[in-house]
């Protein structure tokens, strides 16, 4: 009897960063090697950093989708699990796999599934482990993509989310890809800070995620730069864009994290209410809706848990 495999789509979160794009590609490749029929897609166009990575390794940009239920019955999620960060019709398909390194929230399934979550710096680090567990060889190009994702998520190991597993993975992947990861990594991170051509709307959407906290919808966007003042020269326009989007999308509180990747500091711009929760979370006094957060680079580890506790 002939067995027909059911095709599945693999994707990361909306407003994809490098890990969301690369982890989908890496996991789809792994699953296909193990006998599945999987296609990596994206829930948005790649950002400047990811474009640099894809061009550097001559890799195709994934197909962008806004809904999936018209073409498949089942999907695999990487680098996210929360429904509001996923494809709009996620409730109309079966989630068979999740590989992630974030908190688990607003997520449930009606059937058992494969779920691998680990508190490492990057989803691609977990997928690197899965290749080893399954004795599947990582091609050189994919190794280059995966080390790029880990460098991106850990800010070249400067982020407090970095674990020894991330560093081991990058060093091994760099050998496979024949890349000097330190030189390349800095070049890649700087490519992602080219913000001059971006509109205010593009900046506040580029790496934004929504969270449900204390009955409020909290939107947190992170912009990486090498010059905080260059970004805040556009503060009035950024505020206007945030206010307009919050009104349209129903965000109660919007935090714009502008992070200097060279000295690992963040300046926060807060729009909406309740602002006092932000002050409590970070033990700061907002001045003109802004605060300096020295040493803060990770939304996942240094912003979201603190806000949740304050709420």
Residues comprising the binding site for Mn(2+)?
Answer: 13, 17, 19, 79, 101, 153
From the list 7, 20, 207, 16, the residue with the least C-alpha distance to 127 is 20
Helices (H) and strands (E) in the chain, counts: 12, 11
CA-CA distance, 217 to 253, in Å (whole number)?
A: 7
Task: Dump strand ranges (E) for the chain.
Answer: 8-11, 38-42, 63-64, 74-78, 94-100, 114-117, 208-213, 216-225, 253-260, 265-272, 290-294
User: 56: exposed, middle or buried (C-beta count within 10 Å: 0-12, 13-18, 19+)?
Assistant: middle
- In sequence order, the β-bridge partners of residue 291 are 268
> Is the Cβ–Cβ distance between 23 and 142 less than 8 Å?
no
Residue 118 to residue 126: CA distance in whole angstroms:
7
Q: Record the tokens describing residue 98, joined without a space.
A: 């999740």
Contact 194, 225 (CB under 8 A): no
What's the rounded Cα separation, in Å, for the pair 243 and 229? 21
CB 254 within 8 A of CB 246: yes
Q: Which residues contact 18 (CB under 8 A, 6 or more apart)?
A: 46, 47, 49, 50, 53, 148, 149, 152, 153
Burial of 82 (0-12, 13-18, 19+ CB in 10 A): buried
Which residues line the annotated binding site? 13, 17, 19, 79, 101, 153
């Amino acid at each position: 009897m002939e067995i027909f495999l059911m095709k599945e789509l693999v994707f990361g979160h909306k407003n994809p960063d490098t890990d969301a794009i690369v982890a989908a590609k890496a996991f789809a490749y792994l699953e296909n090697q193990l006998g599945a029929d999987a296609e990596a897609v994206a829930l948005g166009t790649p950002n400047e950093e990811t474009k640099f990575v894809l061009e550097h390794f001559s890799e195709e940009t994934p197909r962008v989708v806004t809904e999936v239920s018209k073409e498949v019955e089942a999907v695999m999620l990487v680098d996210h699990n929360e429904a509001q960060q996923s494809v709009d019709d996620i409730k109309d398909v079966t989630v068979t796999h999740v590989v992630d390194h974030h908190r688990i929230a607003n997520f449930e399934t009606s059937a058992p599934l494969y779920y691998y979550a680990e508190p490492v710096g990057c989803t691609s680090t977990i997928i690197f482990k899965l290749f080893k567990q399954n004795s599947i060889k990582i091609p050189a190009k994919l190794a280059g993509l995966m080390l790029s994702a880990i460098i991106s998520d850990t800010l070249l190991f400067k982020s407090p989310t970095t674990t020894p597993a991330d560093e081991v993975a990058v060093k091994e992947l760099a050998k496979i890809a024949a890349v000097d990861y330190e030189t390349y990594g800095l070049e890649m991170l700087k490519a992602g800070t080219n913000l001059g051509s971006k509109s205010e709307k593009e900046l506040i959407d580029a790496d934004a995620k929504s969270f449900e906290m204390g009955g409020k919808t909290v939107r947190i966007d992170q912009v990486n730069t090498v010059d905080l003042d260059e970004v805040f020269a556009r503060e009035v326009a950024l505020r206007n864009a945030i206010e307009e989007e919050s009104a349209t999308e129903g965000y109660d509180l919007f935090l714009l994290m502008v992070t200097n990747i060279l000295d690992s500091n963040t300046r926060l711009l807060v729009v909406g209410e309740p602002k006092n929760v932000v002050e409590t979370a970070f033990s700061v006094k907002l001045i003109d809706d802004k605060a300096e957060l020295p040493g803060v680079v990770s939304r996942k580890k240094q912003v979201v848990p603190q806000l949740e506790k304050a709420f």
